[in-house]
Copies of this chain bind each other. A is one copy, B any other.
């Protein structure tokens, strides 16, 4: 090694040792004829001193040093003179009096200061990612990500899970999202696809008797990038045989406890709350509710029925509901605030937003349509006190839930009601198996087509599929979906029935999923699993908003890597070899 110690290592009891350090020039201070160079590496910073009294030549060499030069310094560890210790640094008791210096590499002035704290544009950060990663925050993010994966691997390993690698060049079976395609040069006109998940292969591994599988694996989706999505993301992917829901939930709860303990040194309680989907929607207006604050939704249909309001009465007549939330201490909202909220509600699909300021009297543009009794009951039902604001939406149940759920979260953020230091982990369970896609006029799977129906609902599968619940579960971490999974269908006939309901014809099913159907025929065990988003999980643990903070080389919203400039044009020869032509 070119060094004897790293830069975060030396302490008072190393005083007297001859050491060699390597690293980057973090800061340089010229003071009292001496030059102080803080040398930085991944582990920390150590102060080195160049004294012209020790060597004029060496001091002269140190004068050449600029920020981010790479140097090797030899010298003796000494105690810092009293009064010059730095209590903030673990190495702050000592310094290294330089006896030799080698400049291993130079650097122009970087576009931003590595130890600086000023906010930087993401564009600059990604373009100079090799400098950005030198910053302590990015170093911590990547180290934490590493830690999460190591804890997860050790955890699964101890439980006798086997990590099996599944192919990245696989078959295109466009279900949910769009596949990335890879032209197959050796099979003209044909394509591999990059996997959206190893779903089929992990089920095949259960049929193979692997019994307990995990993999930390990249998944690919050629989506139009919404906020904070990436074309490739990493999953902690798990599948188990001969299990029920509770077995998988238990395994993942203990994993989360180990991760939280290992990364944050905090204890979390298991088991986590299991909340049925219907309850989550009814109470929080979300299938991934954030339980770090209240503001629960209340059904006020019965209370508001029989008013003079045409809008409400028409809604109820069509089978609609009315639900409300109480925003504490928000009666002071301005007309503009309320107009903005109304627009927000409309963006999520509401026809309008009814508001009631609870003051000495109830203040609302639609107050006059309701009786005093109705207003009293509304106020009581929501537990509103003077100064509170009640927001009510009416219409189709699901829309009402979603709109109020969105308002609830929006207002909690705005009013700073979220207990940000809390870790809130719980499950949402018993999702519907299917949902109706009104645009495409067809049934679609809420999770994916391999999810098992609840055994008690099997008789409804063909007659009333929308009433069938799934053996599916989502892990919700601080109001974000951190993972999801299900008990799978292990019976070939049920699988074919579900394909049928989804409008996947037999021929199509054979072509796309034939190998799964064949595998299900040859002795498939009951099995189930889950996939956790590693990027998201790491970001949540670190309290970061963007997964790009925990990915070494992320892409932009346009799918571009500002560092390498991928994607890029390729040579005509390369395209020709793939039996393709570019469309003009």
Q: Which residues of A are at the interface with B, using a C-beta cutoff of 8 A?
A: 1-3, 6, 22, 24, 40-42, 68-70, 72, 104-108, 110, 128-134, 139, 142-143, 145-146, 149-150, 153-154, 157, 162-172, 174, 178-194, 200-201, 204-205, 207-212, 218, 220, 222, 224-225, 231-232, 234, 241-244, 247, 490-491, 514-515, 519, 521-526, 551-553, 555, 558-561, 563-571, 574-583
Contact = CB atoms under 8 A, between A and B. Distances in A.
Contacts of A134: 208-209
A130 B2 contact: no
Nearest to A106: B523
Contacts of A106: 523
A133 B181 contact: no
A130 B580 contact: no
Contact of A583 (B171, B231, B521, B580): B580
Q: Could you say which of A164, A180, A523 has the most chain B C-beta atoms within 10 Å of its C-beta?
A: A523
Contact of A558 (B139, B187, B188, B242): B187
B171 A561 contact: yes
A186 B526 contact: no
A68 B523 contact: yes
Contact of A22 (B69, B525, B571): B525
Nearest to A243: B1
Q: Could you say which of A108, A157, A220 has the most chain B C-beta atoms within 10 Å of its C-beta?
A: A157
Contacts of A491: 105
Given A169-B232, A192-B566, A558 B186 contact: yes
A133 B566 CA distance: 38
Nearest to A209: B134
Copies in the complex: 2
B567 A171 contact: yes
A130 B203 CA distance: 10
Contacts of A172: 566, 568, 570, 574
A1 to B, nearest CB: 5
Contacts of A171: 561, 564-568
Contacts of A132: 208
B577 A580 contact: no
B143 A1 contact: no
Contacts of A24: 209, 523
A68 B523 CA distance: 6
Contacts of A128: 522
Q: Could you say which of A131, A153, A566 has the most chain B C-beta atoms within 10 Å of its C-beta?
A: A566
A150 B163 contact: yes
B131 A522 contact: yes
A521 B133 contact: no
A259 to B, nearest CB: 15
Q: Which 5 A-B pairs have the closest CB atoms?
A: A133-B208, A107-B523, A184-B567, A171-B566, A190-B567
A579 B582 contact: yes
Contact of A42 (B41, B68, B211, B523): B211
